[in-house]
Structure 1
Amino acid sequence: MRPGLRFAAVIFDMDGLVLDSEAGYFAAWQQAAAEMGYGLSREFCLSLSGSHGSAISQRLLTHCGTEFDLDNFYQLSNRLWRERVRQQGIPVKAGFFRLLQLIRQLQLPFCLATNSRRSDAEQCLAWAGLDAVFPKLISREDVPNPKPAADIFIKASAELGMHHSDCLVLEDSPIGIEAATAAACPCIFVPSVQPPDARASMQADLVLPDLAEVADFISAAFDHPL
């Protein structure tokens, strides 16, 4: 394996990393806000990538004003988003199945660790056809503090029976990279927003453009041809 980046297990983020779901969330948020008489720019929505629910709520109130009806916004955006995914499903990010095949061939333990609620994560995986893929799922309800705190990755490592320093984290958001760094996990940044965040790029052990490139890296690291 390449010196400087050693690992024996893999921890996946979900939204933006495995699932191409964030564009759907953002479209629903923008439509819901517009129907309520507010505007949410693409840049504002992108800045929420990887955030947990309470952080998103606070940002919305700061952006739109304290009179902004969060309950109505979430009900409306959730309905709009669900209508979209029932019709279209949720796309899986390019390279995921190739990477999954390699990880299984190498017999590396792996799991999913997400800031989403468990029920939401399970539903999204089902809509994407991945409901039977991950042996373990760690959600924000399983830990005291969500990302960017280290808790989710510490918990995920323990669930895999590994020390966190032996678990490679794959993340697409700066918040996820911050959490992986706080947990002292080796991590690869696969940015879902371009240009990549400069701070996250510095924090990560490696920055790669997609999961196919991650598969190539792991294949070379273990000297295992794809």
Structure 2
Amino acid sequence: MQLTDFAAVIFDMDGLLIDTETIYCQSWQRAAADCGFIITPAFYGQLVGRSRADALRIVLDHFGDRVPMPAFQESVLHYETVCFSEETIPIKPGALELIRAVETRGLPKALATSTHRPAATQRLARTGLDRHFPITITGDDVPRPKPSPDIYLMACEKLGVAPQDALAFEDSDPGVQAAHAAGVTVVMVPDFKAPSPDAHTRAARIFPSLLTALVALGA
């Protein structure tokens, strides 16, 4: 399997192109501590790749009445705003090289993220990745977030390609499930959480880093 086997490429954002999951985890942990309960890194792994609404529902289902909503939501937003405004948002090793390899080959590309558009726009601008993605689909643009296929179906529509002709890069189980459900070939580069057995089944390839993927896909 090579990049040139496909007519277009779709990238996830958080945890794939930019190193944000550690910041997210710390923000949710601090908010939980303020509200009197504990979110461990292992539990946070269940939230990776999910929309905010889904993540909050998972927290509520697990902790029940110990979660003081909406105080917890407000605290999460506060810590995320502070962290993403003040801290450097690192670009993942190999991300720019892979993006440029796609551009060199003349392949159209899109970004498909469950993150809400204002936050996605801010992070893309702060990392300079915005100039590479004139086509950006966010969680605000579709009725159902990942792991539903909606965001990938919309990305393919915007790119003007059939799903089976597109290649996706994802870091999370929900993202892999979403791309696969849309009929898009998906490559996984795990970030915060190791791939599940289901992800091993759905992903065409799994690589330890974008740099490894870059070499393996002939980029």
- TM class by smaller structure: over 0.9
- Equivalent AA in structure 1 for residue 138 of structure 2: S
Aligned residues: 219
Distance 1:145 1:173 in 2: 17
Separation in structure 2 between the aligned mates of residue 95 and residue 88 of structure 1, nearest angstrom: 21
Map 1:127-146 onto structure 2 (within 5 A). 127-146=126-145
Q: Distance in 2 between matches of 1:134 and 1:176?
A: 19
* Runs of 4+ deviating beyond 6 Å: none
CA-based RMSD: 1.8
- Unpaired stretches in structure 1, ≥5 consecutive residues: 221-225
CA–CA distance in structure 1, aligned partners of residues 24 and 95 of structure 2: 20
Residues in 1 aligned to 2:29 and 2:193: alpha-carbon distance in whole angstroms: 20
Offset of residue 127 of structure 1: 2.5
Q: Is the 8 A contact 2:32 2:39 kept in 1?
A: yes
Report the counterpart of residue 7 of structure 1 in structure 2. 6
Which runs of no fewer than 5 residues in structure 2 stay unpaired?
none
- Comparing both structures, which one devotes a greater share of its residues to helix? 2
Asked if structure 1 preserves the Cα contact closer than 8 Å seen for 2:114 and 2:139, the reply is yes
Residues 45-194 of structure 1 correspond to what in structure 2 (within 5 A)? 45-66=44-65, 68-194=67-193
Letter in structure 2 aligned against 1:188: V
Deviation at residue 129 of structure 1 after TM alignment: 2.7
Name the counterpart of 1:223: none
In 1, are the aligned partners of 2:37 and 2:66 still within 8 Å (CA)?
no
- TM-score, normalized by length of structure 2? 0.93
Percent sequence identity over aligned pairs? 35
In 2, the alpha carbon distance for the partners of 1:204 and 1:50 equals 15
8 A contact 2:21–2:192 mirrored in 1 = no
Cα distance between partner residues in 2 of 1:6 and 1:108: 10
Does structure 1 conserve the Cα–Cα contact (< 8 Å) formed by 2:110 and 2:135?
A: yes
